[in-house]
Amino acid sequence: MRAIDRWLRCAVVAVGLAIATQAAAQYPDKPIRMIVPWPAGGLVDILARAVSNPMASALGQPVIVENRTGAGGSIGAAAVASAPADGYTILLSTSALDMNAALGIRTPFDVTKDFDPIVVAAYAPSILVVNPAVPAKSVEELIELARKDPGKYTFGSAGIGSPAHFSGELLKSLAGIDMTHVAYKGALQAMLDVIAGRVDCLFANIAVGQPQIRSGKVRALAVTSAARIAAFPDVPTMEEAGVKGFEADQWLGFLAPHGTPRPIVERLAAEIDKALASPDVKAALARNGMTVAGASTPQSFASYLASDLRKWSSLATKADLHAN
């Protein structure tokens, strides 16, 4: 009886592998949905639309960008996690995926179990900006102000668990200061309140921050990347500004539902990397403060995701951060 059971199990596995292999060989034979869990016109949407056309040309099928917004990116992510694992629904997400998990935010999916990483597409630094009325011309001066008046100064974010939230918490932790977090429903709303003076500062992505800095509506103090960025070569890094150990680039990457056949994941990874290598795509991303990751693989992205989750979980524990 046991021999028959083993034979049946092996037969089922063999049939499953055969079906998966055949599906991969025919892939794709219909349009692919690329779910973007953030609003149109934002950083993630810009990347999605930059790569969708070259991907479609290479794959021979339309790649349809679909914005499924809400709940800090969780609504779109949940739609992908519950989709068939056949390569026809993929997710373009950000560091917020790990950060929400680090905070223990309840979602209908498990970030470590319900997705198969495809590639990291790009990295996007943020830039720390303050309202011009804030009497701080540098990060050092902002820290001194916060030390003199604990809890008085505020920093905005695109929501609890967003990259801007964690960047602010990282500054608080490394500098040993107390600032008050004010969460919004999006980066643009947070920026508008910084401009209006209702919030003192914000770690803004370049797409949102650049026009406001150029117009003088906010003052740039530092960037969160390890090196200075071409758009603002005179703005120091947080490390250069005196906050040792501060680095908080946001990643943007593609994921598929868990169980997607490996040949399909690898085909998607290869075509996404080819699209990102295009000079036109690189230029479009650079204009919005993004740097192409380059030569990412499903395996390297999986390792990076695990490392990133450990980093932000450690900060959440140290700073006693919670979802509510």
Q: Would you kindly state where each structural domain of the chain is located, as residue ranges?
A: 30-123+250-318, 126-223
* Res 42: pLDDT: 84
* Res 11: pLDDT: 47
Using alpha carbons only, give the angle 164, 165, 166 rounded to the nearest 5 degrees: 95
Per run of 10 residues, the mean pLDDT along the chain (length 324 residues) is 55 47 79 94 92 97 95 92 98 94 92 96 96 97 98 94 94 97 90 97 93 97 94 96 95 98 97 95 90 90 95 93 76
Cα atoms in the Cβ-side hemisphere of radius 13 Å centred on 265:
24
Q: Which residue from 111, 131, 154 is spatially nearest to 301, judged by alpha carbons?
A: 111
Fold (topology level) of 126-223: D-Maltodextrin-Binding Protein; domain 2 (3.40.190)
* Res 13: pLDDT: 43
Class of domain 30-123+250-318: alpha beta
* Res 12: pLDDT: 45
pTM (2 d.p.): 0.86
* Res 41: pLDDT: 84
Helix (H/G/I), strand (E/B), else coil: 203 = strand
Q: Is the peptide bond before 28 cis (omega within 30 degrees of 0)?
A: yes
* Res 25: pLDDT: 76
Rounded Cα distance between 279 and 318, Å, is 42
Helix (H/G/I), strand (E/B), else coil: 156 = strand
Rounded Cα distance between 246 and 67, Å, is 32
* Res 14: pLDDT: 42
* Res 72: pLDDT: 80
Cβ pair 142, 221 in contact under 8 A:
yes
